[in-house]
Amino acid sequence: LLLSFPQKPKSELVRTSLRLLTSSAYRLQSECKKTLPVETCPTTDIQLVTQQVIQCAYDIAKAAKQLVTITTKENNN
């Protein structure tokens, strides 16, 4: 998805959505790594990690929806 957008989009809305998408994807990757047996320790709160994963997934979906909405409007104009 990120490859289909220019490196420096002119639209501030697109830049904001891409930043949210990218940062959420990195956060999701980080949170998922916490569930791996190697990194899991007795102090790992799996319920908290699960909530963080859900929030990251929500943010990714939100950013993707924003990008679809923006590009659809731009293409229709």
CATH code of residue 62? 1.20.120.330
Instruction: Give the count of domains, the chain.
Output: 1
The answer to whether position 37 is within a domain reads yes
User: For 43, phi and psi rounded to 5 degrees?
Assistant: -90, -5
Pair of tokens at residue 22 = 């990218």
Residue keyed to tokens 């980080």: 30
The answer to whether position 1 is within a domain reads no
The answer to whether position 2 is within a domain reads no
pLDDT tens, per residue, the chain with 77 residues? 444 555 676 778 888 888 899 999 999 999 888 877 765 566 678 888 889 999 999 999 999 999 889 888 877 76
Pair of tokens at residue 77 = 């104009």
The answer to whether position 25 is within a domain reads yes
The answer to whether position 3 is within a domain reads no
- CA dist 73 and 75 (Å) reads 5
The answer to whether position 63 is within a domain reads yes
Read off the pTM: 0.74
The answer to whether position 38 is within a domain reads yes
Query: In angstroms, what CA-CA distances link 14 with 7, 26, 72?
Result: 11, 18, 12
What range does the domain containing 16 cover? 12-74
